[in-house]
Structures are given as C-alpha cells and as structure tokens.
Structure 1
Amino acid sequence: MDTTNDSRRPGRRLGVLRQRDFRLLWLGETTSGLGASITTVALPLVAVVELRADTLAVGLLTAAVWLPWLVIGLPAGAWVDRVRRRPLLIACDVVSAALYASVPVAAWFDVLTLAQLLVVAVMCGVSAVFFDTAYHAYIPAVLDERDLLEGNAKLQGSEAATRVVGRGTAGLIAQAFGAVAGLLIDALTFVVSAVCLLMIRGREPAPSAPDTTATLRRRIGEGLRFVRHDPYLRPMVTYGAVLNMALMGYQAVQIVFLVRTVGVSEATVGALIMAGSIGGILGALLATAIGRRFGSARGMLVLQAVTSPFALLMPLATPGAGLLLFAVGAFMVGTGVAMCNVVVGSFRQRYCPPELLGRVVATTMMLNHSTIPLGSLLGGLLGDALGLRPTMWIMTGAVASCWLILALGPMRRRCDLPPAYGAEPVPVPERPLG
C-alpha cells in the first residue's frame, strides 16, 4: 500500500503534516515565528526599560530591522538562486541565535548599549532577508506542487497564531523575568529551527549551473524584468505594495486613535488589535478550501472584494458597543490578507522557473516591504496634519479599494491562476457555479 500518496489525500485531517519533512519544516518555522513575535515587543522594551531610550531611538531600532530589505534584498535573491537553500537557512538560524543571545549576556554583565542593540537589529535583519528569500524558494523542494497551497496555508496559519501568542506573552515574560529574557527565548527558538532543518531527510535539487559570464547586476535585472513584464506577478506586487502602505498607514496611528480619540484602556487596545491576527488564522484555514471550490484566481479576487471594505468600519469605532466595529473590521481585513498571502505565495512557487525563483521572491518581497516605512511615515504626518480619525478614514479607504488593482489584471477573466510560466490558465466559466 502506498502510504505516501494516501497521506496526501485532501480528506485526511492532518493533510501535509503527515509528511515528516514538511512537519519538521513547519515545526521549526512555527517555533522561530513565536520567538520573532516575542522579539517584536521585547526588543523595544529592552531599549526603553534597560537603556532608557527615547522615542527616536526606538523608532530607529524598528527601522533597522526593515532597512536590509531595501539595501540587499535584490542581491540576496540573485545569490540564493546559486546555492542550496537548506544549508543557508541553517546558517541564518545559527547567526540569528548568536546575535539575539548576545543581548541578555551583555545585559547580565552590565555592558549593553544602544549601539549593540542597533547592530543586532541590523544584522538580524540581514539574516532575515536571506532566510525569508531562501525559505520561500525551499518549500517546493519539500512539498509536491499539488500540496503547495495546503502547505502554505498551514504555514500562514501558524504564523498568524504565533503573532497572537507571542505578542500576548512578551509583556508577561518581561514582567516576570525581565525584558532581555524575551530575546533569550527567541535565540532558543532559532536553535530549534536549525535542528528541525538538520533533521529533514529529503535531498534538495542542486541549483542550476550559474552563468559565469553574468554579472550580479544582470542577474538582479533578470528577476526585476520577469516581475515587471509578467501579467500576473506585476499586479500582485503592485497590490501588495499599495496594501502594505495603507495597512501601515492606519496601524501607525491606530493605538493613539483608540486611546486618545475613542478612549479605551491599554488592555482593550491589545484585544482589538489581536482581532486582526485571529482573522489571519481564519484566512489561512479558508485558503485551501476556497481555492479548490472557486479556483485560485476567482476565489482570491472575490474574497479581497468582500473583506477589504470592512476596513471602513474601524474609523467608526466609539466607546462601548462601537468597539465591535473596529474588531470586526480588523478581523475581516486580517482574513483577506492572510488568504491572499497563501494564494500568492503558492502561485509564485509553482509558476516561476526554478532558476529564477529566489530572485523573484526577493524582488517581490523587497518591493512590498519598501512601502512599509513609507506608510508609517505617511500615517504619522497625516495624523499630525489632519487628526487621527480623518487619517484612519483615508488609510482604511485605501485598504478598502486597493483590491481593484487585482481586478484590473488578467485574474478577473480566470478561474485558476496558471500552474506554470507559459501555461494557459483556465478561464472563468460564463455561468456561475451552482
């Protein structure tokens, strides 16, 4: 009896988690994702509590994590396409573990400085660029093409869950054991991730032989041109960049909006923001079923059209029962974003030629991440100039309408996204499904 094929039947409760190599990959990524969520809160806490840093220093610390994407994102993609991904992933885990562990060690010896925190943030950001690029390119080496959608859905769902748990427990850890304890826990999660990757048995295909005459600039250009000229990737990347800018625009002022304009407590703020992460879990769970029922292209487009306008509920928040408007809006937006991430990630892994996948991943992630600091800055500027509620209206209005970028592309005419570059996708039937 072929137990391998049997374990991959969609009806099986565990699905792709029955496959040992994917289970190890999922366990390692979920564990390190939990640590990363803790660090999102713990790193600024270390700066504020241990070093008495001011607001500007904390802002620089946050920006330092994202800066490497803008500087080395494209070269990293070109380099990832020339090496095996699993050894690179393990090396990134080890480097990140050592960097984060250096912070509590320095604090215990009373030699921790803000400069060290900034160096750790930048270097871990560099490691994250290589890890995330290689990780998305490595998943097709662990899963068959038919399992990519389900596998990405499980990874996206666990990522959303770790955001809820990690950020919720970071404050408790800091209060009980000190702010630096969170970074030590994050270091340990990277060790777990490295061990899980080491235990994977499947052999990764060797990278294609590099063109020794191609310069780094030319290789980067190949990835950029592929994304720019492809009729499917171009609107997806544009949508992701605009959506990230709009999301970060309202998220930059949402806490101040809830506390000062709506008048809620800190504990209530945490619960309201958590609604978006809980919606992310639902979106990841729905992605596979919606893709199979309605088609990957039509399902994603319809879900974005349905969920995105709920963002307009958030500026309507008022004390009391009116807080449900914010929670529902955040929940629905989180659902749509997570489902979109699953479908786009799976499509990219199937669609792109293997020799270009690392560069395409790096190009799309760099372009999408480049608007994150821009959105935060725009939200802050509008908040000062126009006020908090008008800023929430402007930025959530952008979230509500940016799905039209996808609708203007070829997806509106297709049921499923093409399975591979150059393949003819399935058009949308003229009659709706019964």
Structure 2
Amino acid sequence: MGYLRLLRQRDVLVLWLSETLSALGDRFFTLALMWTAWARFGAPAMGIVVIVESVPHLLVGAFGRRLLARFVAFRALAAVEAVQVLVVGAMPWLQDSIGLLGVVLVIAAVGTADAITGPSLGALVPEAAPVGQAKEITGLMALTGNATWVLGPGAAACLLAVLPAERLFLLDALTFAVSACAFVWLARRVVVRPAPGRVPDEDASAVGAPRARDVLRRHPRLGAAIGLNIVGEFFAAVATVGIPIWLTTRLHAGASAYGVVITAMGVGAVAGNLLAGHLPTPKRFTRAYCLVWAARGALLVVFAFTQGLGQVVAVTAVAGALSPAAAILLGTEVATLPVPERARLMAADIAGLHTAGMGSMLVIPALVAAAPVLGFVAGGAATVLAGALAWGAIALTGRRQAVAEPDEDRLLVRT
C-alpha cells in the first residue's frame, strides 16, 4: 500500500494533516522564539533556549516512564495540545512583561509537552493504520518531517515579510488547536490493539509503564540499533557544522551555495523517504539498518575529498536520502512492540539523541574548524565502525540466544 492509498483511510488522513500543520507550527514557534530571544536578550539567550528545550526530553526519557504511560492515548494528548494553545497563544501579550525567566519557563513548559507528545504519539501512529501497514505509516509521518524541514523556513520567511514575528506564536497556537481536535476525533475511532503475550498475574504497572532497560533486555536488537542511532547522530553533526566551514574555507563559496546544498539535502531526504517507504521491508532488519548507517559514515569520508560545489551537492543529496531510510527501518521495527514498550523506547531514543546533539556541539565544532578534512574522515570512520560493532553485537546476541534455546528445550523434556 503506497502513501496515497494509505491516505484514503480517513483516520490516517486526519492524523497526517494535523501532524503536517503541527510540524509547520513548530518551525514557526522555533523561529519566533529565537528571534524574540535575540532581539530582547541577545545571543546568550539563544543558547539558553536550546538547552532549556532539551532538558525535558532528557528528564522524561530517563525518569518519566510513569508520566509517559499516562499520556499514551489520543484523548490525553488532546489535553496536552489544549494546554499548549493557551501557553503559546499568550506569548504575543506576555513576552514584553515576563522577562527572560518567563521565556525560559514557557520554553520548559512547551518542551515538556513535546517530550510527552513525541514518543506517545509515535507509539500510537501505527494503530491508526490497517494491520500490516506499520512501515507505510511510519514513512508517511517521517515524510511530514522531511517536507516541513525544507518548506518550514521558507514559509516562515514569507510570513515574516507581511507579519511581525510575534504573530507566528498565534499561528503555532492555531496548529495546536487543530491537533487537539484531531486527537479527540481519533480517540473515538482508533482502538489500541492489546499487547501480546500478557501474563494474567503480571504487574499492571510494569506492563503500562515498562522500564527502558527491561524493554532493551527483551529486545537486544533494538537496543543495539538505538545505540547506533545515537552514536551516528553524534557524528552526523560533523556535516551540520562542517558544510558551511567547508564551503567558505575550501571552496570559497558564499551563502547562496550553502542554500543550494541544504536544499539538495532536503530534496534528497524527501526522495529517500518516498523510495524507502515503497520498497519491501528487508527480511533482516539488523543488516539493513547497520548498512545504512555505515553508508552514511562512508559519505562523510567521501565529503572530505570533494573539490567542487557539484560534488558537495551530490554527496549531501545522497546523504539526505539515507537519513529517512534509517528512520523508517527503525520505526517499523519498533512498531512491532506493544504500545507501552514503543513509547518507552522512543522516549529513551529521543533523550539519547538530545544528549548526543548537545555533546556533539561541545566537541565537533572546534575539531572541524581546526581541521575540516580530519573532522569529516574521523567522523565518517567512527560511524562506519559503530555500524560494524552494532552488527557484530547483534549477531553475537543472536548466537547466544540460539544456543540457550535448545538447552531450555532439553530441560523442559527432562521435567
């Protein structure tokens, strides 16, 4: 089933439209908040915005399993969206009176809501699709992020040409209101499938609010894949930081060239999503996922030997295409788990990605600025090595399980 056929399902269409608007609204909110922080409090405030927004994701991912379990339902998520309508919608009138501390509190509130909504909604998304269509709906939702990543800044720039930055807060509040209505509607129509393998006397709190380490212990392949995802995104910052440095110091190009490269990366991401979403699901998730990450690492190494804008555009377009391929593979595999386990793993993954993002910004910019070629080669080689290690670790775990299972069978026969 392709994306267009999937969108003929009314539940999927409502969810996709609301999430598309929400993703655009998030772009508007980020731009308006950054602009407000810069205009009123200076450059240090922009760094504070980024850090404060990440903290709730870390806390919820590490300690919020019971909190998260309360919101893995569309009706509960509708309430979260409704609160954000009030908070974000009030910003145009509050920003002049609340000061930097007030702005930080607003960011913390919105960041907490996002830390709850992200994994909870991600866990519920496969339930809106027909059985067996987890890969397709995962790809469709990822396409929303890929497309708005390209279109969002341009749309915001067009709006800023005719509207003050403060009005973007109102547009974001409107998208939250649309999402709240959509979630209320979906709560009446989408039935969450029961978790398989439930033991009758099992502690209900452990089922509804599983610990991340317990889930990872039961699913070591996913644990290795999530670890690879976090390590890979850490080194992916080499491209984020290194591309503008490379263009200016090695190719002596300007901002227009940077715009061309970023556009190529976005177009590649959309094309890669469309391709990955329509290809058959690989029979061996581990091999496919590790190979995609190894290829992303190899492209970082190749980037270190580019000598013209055309070569840079080609490499970044291919790299952009591989990013959604990895996301769709991982999302499809996570969708095979019960909903509570999905939400817990997604929260842990998001927390890890935020940690990797902050850590990479402390280390990688200085390295790439001092030695761009070394930075790209080292980051790419480390990513390839991480892919190989994850593949080896999963293969070793599989062999141990294969050896343990016959032993258990013999023990059962004896008893």
TM-score in same-fold range (> 0.5): yes
Give the corresponding residue for 1:145.
131
How far apart, in 2, do the equivalents of 1:312 and 1:80 lie?
A: 39
Instruction: State the AA in 2 paired with 1:157.
Output: L
The alignment partner of 2:90 has SS state of helix
- Seen in structure 2, the aligned counterparts of structure 1 residues 241 and 207 have a Cα distance that, compared at 3 Å, is same
Q: How does 1:95-110 map to 2 (within 5 A)?
A: 95-107=83-95, 110=96
Is the aligned partner of 1:391 residue 2:364? no
Number of aligned residue pairs: give it. 395
CA distance in 1, matches of 2:63, 2:208: 9
Q: Is 1:332 aligned with 2:302? A: no
2:344 partner letter: R
Find the partner of 1:348 among 320, 323, 334.
Answer: 334
TM-superposed deviation, 1:178: 2.5
* Conserved 8 A contact 1:231-1:409: no
Q: Distance in 2 between matches of 1:296 and 1:206?
A: 23
Task: Measure how far apart 1:130 and its partner are.
Answer: 0.5
Give me the identity figure in percent. Answer: 21
Residue among 374, 384, 403 paired with 2:359: 374
Among 242, 245, 255, the residue aligned to 2:234:
245
> Relative to structure 1, is the Cα distance of residues 18 and 206 closer, same or farther in structure 2, using a 3 angstrom cutoff?
closer
Computed over aligned residues only, the root mean square deviation of the Cα atoms, in angstroms, reads 3.3
- Pairing 1:117-196 to 2, within 5 Å after superposition: 117-196=103-182
Aligned twin of 1:57: 45
What 5-or-longer segments of structure 1 have no aligned partner? 1-9, 415-421, 423-434
- Pair 1:38-2:25 in alignment: no
1:47-74 C-alpha deviation (Å, 9 max, x unpaired): 22x31512x2211111211111112223
How far did residue 387 of structure 1 move? 3.8
Deviations 1:71-102 (A, max 9, x none): 22234333333455102221222222322222
Distance of 2:288 and 2:205 partners within structure 1: 40
The Cα of 1:30 is off from its aligned counterpart by 1.1
Are positions 1:267 and 2:248 aligned together? no
* CA gap 1:354/1:177 in 2 versus in 1, 3 angstroms: closer
- Conserved? CA contact 1:77–1:361, under 8 Å: no
- Shifted more, 336-345 versus 164-173: the winner is 164-173
* 8 Å Cα contact 2:135/2:281 also seen in 1: no
Match of 2:350 among 365, 370, 375: 365
The residue type paired with residue 222 of structure 1 is R
Residues 14-33 of structure 1 mapped to structure 2, 5 A cutoff: 14-33=4-23
CA deviation vs aligned residue, 1:218-243 (integer Å, no higher than 9, x gap): 98773223214523112111111101
Q: Residue 226 of structure 1 aligns with which residue? A: 215
Instruction: Return the offset for 1:143.
Output: 1.9
* Unmatched runs of 5 consecutive residues or more in structure 2: 399-404, 406-415
TM-score, structure 2 as length reference: 0.83
**Residue correspondence of structure 1 range 259-298 to structure 2 within 5 A:** 259-292=248-281, 296-298=285-287
- C-alpha distance in 1 between matches for 2:380 and 2:224: 20
Cα 1:14–1:173 change in 2 (3 A) is same
Matched residue of 1:146: which SS? coil
Structure 2 vs 1, CA of residues 21 and 13 (structure 1 numbering), >3 Å: closer, same or farther? closer
Distance, in Å, in 1 between the alignment partners of 2:41 and 2:339 is 48
Q: Distance in 1 between matches of 2:388 and 2:153?
A: 32
CA distance in structure 2 between the aligned counterparts of 1:219 and 1:141, rounded to whole angstroms: 16
**Secondary structure, aligned partner of 2:97:** coil
Instruction: Report the residue type matching 1:42 in the other structure.
Output: A
Q: Are residues 1:407 and 2:391 paired?
A: yes
For residues 393 and 158 of structure 2, what CA distance do their matches in structure 1 show? 46
Report the CA distance shift for 1:264/1:122 in structure 2 as closer, same or farther (over 3 A): farther
Q: 1:72 to 1:84 in 2, by over 3 A?
A: closer
d(CA) in 2 for partners of 1:412, 1:291: 26
Once the two structures are TM-superposed, the CA of residue 286 in structure 1 deviates from its matched residue by 1.6
CA offsets 1:404-434 (integer angstroms, 9 cap, x no match)? 24432447999xxxxxxx9xxxxxxxxxxxx
Structure 1 stretch displaced more, 223-232 or 288-297: 288-297
Matches of 1:211 and 1:262 in 2, distance apart? Answer: 66
Residues 237 and 368 in structure 1, CA contact (< 8 A), matched pair in contact too: no
Question: What's the secondary structure of 1:408's corresponding residue?
Answer: helix
Q: Which residue of 2 aligns with 1:430?
A: none
Task: Give 1:32 deviation, angstroms.
Answer: 0.5
CA distance in structure 1 between the partners assigned to 2:270 and 2:395 by the alignment: 25
Cα distance in 1, alignment partners of residues 228 and 301 from structure 2: 18
In 1: Cα distance, 2:179 partner to 2:127 partner: 17
Alpha-carbon shift at residue 131 of structure 1 (Å)? 0.1
Say whether residues 1:312 and 2:301 are aligned partners.
Answer: yes
C-alpha change, 1:253 and 1:98, in structure 2 (3 Å) is farther
Alignment CA distance shift 1:391-1:39 (3 Å) = farther
Q: Is contact 2:82–2:176 with CA below 8 Å preserved after alignment? A: yes
